[in-house]
Homo-oligomer: A and B are copies of this chain.
Amino acid sequence: MPLRDALRQIQPLDWLLVAIPFAVALRFVPAWHNDTALFFVAGLSVIPLAGWMGRATEHLAARSGPGIGGLLNATFGNAAELIIALIALSEGLIGVVKASITGSIIGNILLVLGAAMVAGGVKYQHQTFSRTVARVSSTSLSLAAIGLIIPTVFHLAADQQPGGWSPQAEQQLSAAVAAILLATYVLSLVFSLITHRDLFGGGEATHEHEGPLWSVGTATAVLAVATTLVAVMSEFLVGSIEAARAGLGFTEVFVGVIVVAIIGNAAEHSTAITVAMKNQMDLSLGIAVGSSLQIALFVTPVLIFASYLFGRPMNLEFTLPEVAAVALSVWIVAGISGDGECNWLEGVQLLSVYLIIAVLFFFLPEMPHNPEAALPAAATSH
């Protein structure tokens, strides 16, 4: 199958790279100025760029041996999301950042994994994967969900005492929880890359190296160029988000949870489905759940700490619908993945939960999301 191999070299989403010049034109040619178009075009351009960042990281990883390589994958795997979020954070769009964290977590485990299970399930009656890995992953997901639930519980409970809740206390609590989540993430890397590496079978490293391995120089250069372009496109994306969502009539939270999250996860989406159709469900699950975990346990704490640098500290308090969406998603994924096998109906069930949550965010009115504003339930009732 040399023809098939050759075709595979052209990554299916690379034609989206043509969006880059369009985005530049929409941004800088006054006559073409259109924020809604810029938002979508910049968003589309991030998809193939994120793919190139991912491939460069993997080639670097393959050159570095399994330990350092795994670390590279684990830290740069969601670099595009991290860059978008950092730029949004620097412009004070805390609500969008939190919404896109929520969206990335649920998007990966519901939409990406659901689509992968359906795509694999129409070809194979049953697909299997390592139960131990699935268990460890869903426990990590539960831990991440708990880390997101607790700051909201704190607000709800502290707020019952007059003067009991303060943004300072919420911020300190958030920083402490973020530190615990990050420490657990580091330890889970020790687990998967060192002490229990055999369980993971070098998973992530094996799915891409069909062509020759790039040199360290090439890989570094590709990574640098792609990262720069992602940063520029993210700048465009974030700069146009406000006007675009107003033009489309979407709320901030819907844009963050659904739109930004779909853009940020398109690369995972495409890969997870492709490998599921090759009956490599271990890898598919690893990509989808691993990406959610990286967002929750690595990107989110990093954003919390980075927000101090911008002088506008972000806390870990999410809105009630966001907390509910994450908790319910983790609950259903744990149930589905716990037995080490899946079928197309389980994929449909994940997609159904995603749709129900999308409907919820679609109908939600615009909500305050900054730390000063009172938040869920009883919080506003005094």
Interface residue ranges, A against B (CB under 8 Å): 125, 131-132, 135-136, 138-140, 142-143, 146-147, 149-150, 153-154, 156-158, 160-161, 163-165, 169, 172-173, 176-177, 180-181, 183-184, 187-188, 191, 195-196, 319-321, 324, 328, 331-332, 334-336, 338-339, 341, 343-346, 348-349, 352-353, 355-357, 359-360, 363-367, 375-382
Contact = CB atoms under 8 A, between A and B. Distances in A.
Contacts of A366: 161
Counting every copy of the chain, the complex holds: 3
Given A321-B154, A377-B378, A173 B343 contact: no
27 contacts: A125-B195, A132-B339, A132-B341, A142-B332, A142-B335, A146-B328, A147-B356, A149-B324, A150-B356, A150-B357, A150-B359, A150-B360, A154-B363, A156-B320, A157-B319, A157-B321, A157-B364, A164-B367, A177-B359, A180-B352, A180-B356, A181-B352, A188-B348, A191-B345, A378-B378, A378-B379, A381-B381
B320 A143 contact: no
Nearest to A161: B365
Contact of A135 (B143, B191, B339): B339
Contacts of A180: 352, 355-356, 359
Contact of A345 (B136, B158, B375): B136
- Main SS at interface, chain A: helix
A363 B172 contact: yes
Given A196-B125, A324-B149, A335 B139 contact: yes
Nearest to A382: B381
Contacts of A348: 184, 187-188
Nearest to A191: B345
Contact of A154 (B341, B353, B364): B364
Given A177-B356, A356-B146, A156 B338 contact: no
B332 A146 contact: yes
Nearest to A322: B157
A359 B176 contact: yes
A114 to B, nearest CB: 12
Contact of A160 (B191, B196, B324, B367): B367
Given A321-B157, A352-B184, A365-B158, A346 B136 contact: yes
Contacts of A150: 324, 356-357, 359-360
B139 A332 contact: yes
Contact of A153 (B156, B173, B324): B324
A174 to B, nearest CB: 10
Given A156-B377, A343-B196, A365-B164, A352 B143 contact: yes
B154 A360 contact: yes
Interface centre among A146, A364, A366 (most CB of B within 10 A): A146
A355 B381 CA distance: 30
